[in-house]
Amino acid sequence: MILSAIIILGAIGALSAIILFVVSKKFEIYEDPRIGQIQEMLPAANCGGCGYPGCGGFAAACVNSNSLEGLICPVGGNSLMQQIAEVLGKTVGSFDPKIAVVKCNGSCKNRPRTNQYDGAQTCAIASSLYSGETECAYGCLGFGDCVAACTFAAIVINPETLLPEIDEEKCTSCGACVKVCPKLLIELRKKGQESKRIYVGCSNKDKGAVAKKVCEAACIACLKCQKVCSFEAITITDNIAYIDDNKCTLCCKCVSECPTFTIIER
């Protein structure tokens, strides 16, 4: 009986092994070895700034695409994409480096505090409860969710203005801060020639008089910047000006024309 049990168990084990082998071959998924090679070249930030789920997803996209046009690792930049193109033997397009900017200039001086918040110190929770410690419902809350989201330590909260500040040398334009801001105050914009850029440092959509009352640096939609721009780079929508960095030539005429100094030149 013992011998019979051993033979039966052995047969069952052998049959199971054969079934597992056949199933593994039938459902085997082939992975191009170049995916691993490209992934090793990437910075392993897994920031998602490329639009794919981590560096592995981006590496697979590079290998499986006919061209690298439109694919970019914001951390590695153009130089890394050129290296990937050489390995894969594909063409790659160039892209303009970007940097995160904060579309709010509501410092304590420009936007006085009118109340005090004693709840959880996160922008996500605070924004779901009320408009903030000032009368501007569109301004930065200053609790630093963007700071926590940045894996490159490129953002700090200025203790005097209570606004986030971007370190240009550390920012990789991964977009993590853009996604986490509940007020949608952070935008990725072109670094510009010689790291110079012009943008509107306000997101208040209230009418001019109301916006100016709650913040000295608010956009009042006076149209002066739009009229002085010769390149049609400025549009006014929902009582707020916006500068298209694809059209802006950095002439700076709008900067000096703005009566509330809302347009920021960096």
CA distances from residue 247 to 18, 179, 229, 231, 244 in whole angstroms, order as listed: 65, 25, 10, 7, 6
Amino acid 11: pLDDT? 79
* CATH code assigned to 98-265: 3.30.70.20
Domains of the chain, residue spans: 33-88, 98-265
Rg (CA), the chain: 27
Residue pLDDT, tens place only, 166-214:
999 999 898 999 999 999 999 999 988 888 999 999 999 999 999 999 9
Residue pLDDT, tens place only, 92-109:
877 888 999 999 999 999
Hey, which residues does 187 pair with through a beta bridge?
101
Amino acid 185: pLDDT? 97
Amino acid 139: pLDDT? 95
Please tell me the total number of residues recorded for the chain in this structure.
266
Helix H or strand E encompassing 234 = strand 234-237
CA 97, 251, 183: angle at the middle one, nearest 5? Answer: 55
Amino acid 179: pLDDT? 93
Given CATH 1.10.3470, say whether it is the number of domain 33-88. Answer: no
- The torsion angle over the Cα atoms of residues 29, 33, 37 and 43, rounded to 10 degrees, is -10
Beta-strand relationship, 155-157 and 263-265? unpaired
16-38 burial, b if ≥16 CB within 10 A, otherwise e? eeeeeeeeeeeeeeeeeebbeeb
| Spans of the chain, pLDDT less than 70 | 24-25, 28-30
Q: What distance in Å separates the CA atoms of residue 2 and residue 49, rounded to the nearest whole number? A: 63
Q: What is the DSSP letter of 49?
A: T
